Amino acid sequence: MKKIINSPENLVAEMCEGIAKAHPSLEFLPKYKIVKRKEINKNKVTLISGGGSGHEPAHAGFVGIGMLDAAVCGDVFASPSSVQVYNAIKATASDKGTLLIVKNYSGDCMNFDTAKEDAADDGLTVDSVYVNDDIAVKDSLYTIGRRGVAGTVFVHKIAGAAAEQGKSLAEVKAVAIKAISNVRSIGFALTSCTVPAKGTPTFEISGGDMEYGVGIHGEPGIARQPLETADKLAEKMTKALIADLKISSSAEIAVMVNGFGATPLQELYLFYNSVTKFLPTDIKVYKVFVGNYMTSIDMVGASLTFFKLDEELKKLLDEKSVTAAFK
């Protein structure tokens, strides 16, 4: 393992210090590993997200005007504790209440839910939404359901814009749920990531193979298969997303090509070009985002996200946001 670190134990804290120092409108609360806006506007709904670290710029990179008020940072790929989340709720409490945007994982759900209950006991108004955009995971009664991946960034954006407009907690929650039900993602990986504390790749993969349907933690995907061309992958993924989202003709969508951390931008743009070849001409692309938004440390690979838009979502997507990683 070669990493630019001092020691694996201090990685998350030192990274957060760096984020706060690089972006002076942010501050870092080291005790509970919270990156928050220095100024909390008590007259708007505050938004908190977070989860395990290793997904940078998620989530601290989305803290700022028009998006999140705080990001709670767990260890690499591990949910923050309920105590951390509870303290983030307290540190950002507003007169209009707080919405937690949680990626749908067992650990995150348990910790954010416990924090929500504890804060409610203190008389704070807190609600939550759960993002589950990854279509690689089968959604059935018998599982905890699909996991939250890159589509979460669109939920931050939409809920953040609505909150900044002064909407009520119920209204912000409603539009966040609308965003969640219209966003879907699918990803693939050519290599595993290496968790610094472990020091070796999470999964082994031979030179000619890839994992299709991977998540963002180095957990295996739904299938291992020989490496395919960008066009072949783009065709399969585009078709799967259109089918799952039931996108009809004349629909408008936002597209995100998200790198997993170690994929060159040239390949991400090439991949977007491939995607456009397989989008039906009657589907209009309203906005495109190509870059690293929800990474998996140093994994080589990418995910594709489609976000189906209506007039309300388009307006919110166009609102101003001033954050480190999303404009």
Site residues (vs another protein, CB under 8 A): 52, 74-79, 81-83, 105-107, 110-111, 114, 136-138, 142-144, 147, 195, 197-198, 202-203, 215, 217-222
For residue 75, the minimal CB distance to another protein (Å) is 5
For residue 223, the minimal CB distance to another protein (Å) is 8
For residue 129, the minimal CB distance to another protein (Å) is 18
**Pick 114 or 225: Cβ nearer another protein:** 114
> What single DSSP character describes residue 299?
B
Among 262, 242, 273, 253, CA closest to 302: 262
- Cα atoms in the Cβ-side hemisphere of radius 13 Å centred on 190: 17
- What is the set of active-site residues? 55, 217
**Pick 121 or 311: Cβ nearer another protein:** 121
**Pick 44 or 217: Cβ nearer another protein:** 217
For residue 162, the minimal CB distance to another protein (Å) is 30
Q: What is the CA radius of gyration of the chain?
A: 19
For residue 16, the minimal CB distance to another protein (Å) is 16
Residues 180 and 182: their CA atoms lie apart, in Å, by 5
How many C-beta atoms lie closer than 10 Å to residue 22's C-beta? 9
Coil, strand or helix: which one is 183?
A: strand
Residues 34 and 36: their CA atoms lie apart, in Å, by 6
**Pick 143 or 273: Cβ nearer another protein:** 143
**Pick 94 or 192: Cβ nearer another protein:** 192
Q: How far is CA 40 from CA 26, 79, 321, in A?
A: 11, 24, 15
22-27: long-range pairs with CB below 8 Å, 24+ = 22/324, 23/64, 23/324, 25/64, 25/322, 26/60, 26/63, 26/64, 26/324
